[in-house]
Amino acid sequence: MEPEAGPLPLIVLTGFLGSGKTTLLRRLLASTEFHDAAVLINEFGAVGLDHLIVRNLTDSAVLLQSGCVCCSIRGDLSEALMQLLTQRDRGEIPRFGRVIIETTGLADPSPILATLMCHPALRHHLRLAKVAATVDAVLGEANLDRHPELIKQIAAADHLILTKMDLASRESSERLRRRLSALNPAAAIDQAIYGRVDPSLIARLGARSAPTMVVAGEEASASFAPTHQRPAGQPVSSFVITLSEPVDWAAFGLWLSLLAYKHGAALLRVKGILRVVGSDLPVLIHGVQHLIHLPEHLSAWPSEDRSSHVVFIALGLERQAVERSLRKFLRLENPALRGAA
Amino acid sequence: MCGLCGIFGDSRHWSDEIVRDGDSVPVWQRRRERQHRITLINKILTPYRVTVADWQGEKLVVRGPTGRCELAETVGDLWQKAEIAAGRPLDPLDAQFLEAPDGT
């Protein structure tokens, strides 16, 4: 690899919960342009999963465990970046040529950008190359109305990638495109169909060009206030349900479909890795609000842990009720589990 | 696919996917899985006095306590049809639902 002259380019990949950030990240990491990328992943959840999903693509994936980048761990972010750079210089990890930060779906990216630009050491080693934001073409308009975080993400982006175009109608995607253009006229708007993006987008994201946006440090620093409390008073809760026994797929699918039908608006994100009866390999599930994606088979377990973990990010749903409900459905298939909490 | 209506793009629902190792799933196994799912649906809907039966392996016949019948294409629209047939909402987080004895 050619030695990098000057600061390494850094891409911030943001986008609302379930809008396809990790899918895009996997595409990028599988491309030749990004073969030399180190990745920092931040998730707002008790148990992070995204780093497991991308681990087989890069040895340099790090999960920031302590919560949301946007309001609590700017220190954690700068420390993680400094640690990556130090390990790179010592030869402890591959000599990466660029860095990607995947933010939590709830992050306001401006404090992250401020950290990168204002940190006394980082600003000499890293430079912001791009801010890319994924926007769900199906739910984007509704999310814009409900979630101010999304507006901040769109406003900060150099590239907006409309995802799930295969699921959206032409009219609604055009309406969303116009709205995004109005919100951020300077951003390029691309699209992803079935998770695939135009190769030229990958090339443009991978181009080691100068940053295309400038955020005034003081303005960015002024917006550090937590954004997880909804204006209507409903808190965003995050919890994980762990199941040690293999789950019956039919019972789980019926439960999740009914939960999404009845409480989809409150179900900001559901993501899980499942150990399913009849399969030795894990199954990955993704969902956002009413939308649940086809389950995905993974080729191997990411760790020795063979339990199922399902992470929920929800508005006003109580963990206890959700877990009781799931276990009740699973007992329908296996009465032997009766008595389990 | 959308959990609300289940009809974005095609008529397949995400939960129709049979999660098994290997590429192909024989027809008999698909039928058995479908029957298994219908058995579970009937257990879930017992407190609502709603029953569900297979129709030609293609649709679900949803029958309410008054004899009212609805046809559901997939699990995606099953719950809406079951609510219509039952004449009341279904909520997996409702205390009454959670307190009901399992499978009765």
Three-class HEC string of A44-88 = CCCCCCHHHHHHCCCCCEEEECCCCCCCCCHHHHHHHHHHHHHHH
Candidates A166, A276, A332; nearest CB to B40? A332
| Chain A residues lying within 8 Å of B98, measured CB to CB | 321, 324-325, 328
Minimum CA–CA partner of A319 in chain B: B93
Residue B8 included in any domain: no
Q: Best mutation site among A237, A255, A262, A331 for testing chain B: the one with the most B CBs within 10 Å?
A: A262
Strands (E), A137-199: 159-163, 188-193, 196-197
A-chain residues near B91 (CB < 8 A): 262
In B78-97, the residues whose Cβ lies within 8 Å of chain A are 78-80, 89-93, 97
Q: Which of residues 5-34 of A touch B (CB under 8 A)?
A: none
pLDDT of residue B22: 54
CA distance A140 to A241: 28
Distance CA A205, CA A27 (A): 12
CATH 3.30.1220.10 intervals, chain A: 236-337
Closest CA to A218 of A114, A130, A131: A114
Which pLDDT score, from 0 to 100, does residue B87 have?
92
- Which residue ranges does chain A devote to CATH 3.40.50.300? 8-221
B14-67: per-residue pLDDT in tens? 787 665 555 567 788 888 888 999 999 999 999 899 999 999 888 999 999 999
Which chain A residues contact residue B1 at CB under 8 A?
Answer: 167, 291-294
CA–CA gap between residue A234 and residue A62 (Å, rounded): 31
> What confidence score (pLDDT) does residue A130 get?
83
Mean pLDDT, 10 residues at a time, chain A of 341 residues: 69 89 85 85 53 44 41 61 88 86 77 72 83 91 82 81 89 90 78 78 64 29 31 61 93 94 81 88 78 77 88 84 95 63 41
Q: Which residue in B21, B79, B90 is closest to A281 by CB distance?
A: B21
pLDDT score recorded for residue B42: 95
Q: Give the count of Cβ contacts less than 8 A between chain A and B.
A: 117
Residue B73 lies in domain: 14-99
Please tell us whether the domain made up of A236-337 is placed in CATH 1.10.3760.10.
Answer: no
ipTM of the complex: 0.87
The fourth-level CATH superfamily of domain A8-221 is: P-loop containing nucleotide triphosphate hydrolases (3.40.50.300)
Task: Specify if B61 maps to a domain.
Answer: yes
* Residue B77 within a domain: yes
**Nearest CA distance, A158 vs chain B (angstrom):** 29
Give the confidence band of B98 by pLDDT, cuts at 50, 70, 90.
Answer: confident
